Amino acid sequence: MKTIGRIGIVIAVALSLLSATGCEQQWAEWHKWNHEQWSKLRGDEAPVTEETPIDPIKKCDLAIKGGKLSPAALADAYKSRADAYDDRGELNKAVADYTAAVSQYYPLLASIHNNRGVTYMGKGDLDKAYADFSKSIELNPTKASTYGNRGIASWKKGEFDKVIADYTKMIELDPKSVKAYNNRGSAYERTGELDKAIADHTRAIAIDPTYGPAYNNRGVAYSKQGKNTKADADFRKAKELGAG
């Protein structure tokens, strides 16, 4: 039997894309108000200057409804309007806007933690990477790729039970993820659960029959079970697909 080296998990770290906005753009979004719009807000056509008093709630209305704010600036707009409502004693409206600010800000913050975790992992600082991925999941528990990232950190630490748990959650959120099935299958192989490993790699192949690593990794599991004919067939297919 010709043995092909174990590929194991496929490390494809997912970066969360952030809006490409810096402080300057956010300030521009907030403070470079169009004079004509300002005049309309005041209800007349009087000349408007930076010193012209404008109702802060109306300012925020204009910013929020404009549809051009970055997530961070939109969160700031909701917070500012909430502050204004709170000052006026309109507490229900304030609570609603604070809640909206949180909904805008937390996914952004989750992305920052995820991306810093990727950087830490690249530096080999796995404990810090794991902590950042965990914080990202706490803030946005429905982002499937973050569980995958944390699973890779656990794999590198040799904590295969944690790998299995994270890829199980990733599969729950993204049932068509070939890499999630492949990576969980490889973790099962490392823990000696070969039937589960074979089932996961088979599922990955069913989703994408051209995914070579799954054939190679299933071949490793078959080989450990002494099923050499099946193992050889999988290794040949993996090589055919460029994964051997």
pLDDT digits (tens, 9 = 90+) for 13-49: 554 544 333 333 443 544 554 445 545 555 555 554 5
Quote the tokens at residue 194.
């070969």
90 to 1, 56, 81, 167: CA distances (angstroms): 76, 14, 11, 45
User: What CA–CA distance (Å, rounded) separates 111 from 132?
Assistant: 10
First CA to last CA distance, the chain:
14
Which is more confident, 160 or 99? 160
Domains and CATH numbers, the chain: 23-141 (1.25.40), 163-244 (1.25.40.10)
User: What CA–CA distance (Å, rounded) separates 65 from 67?
Assistant: 5
Kindly tell me the sign of the dihedral angle through the C-alpha atoms of 117, 122, 126, 128: negative
Which is more confident, 188 or 99? 188
Q: What share of the chain is helix, strand, coil (3-state, %, to 5)?
A: 70, 0, 30
Residues comprising the chain, all counted? 244
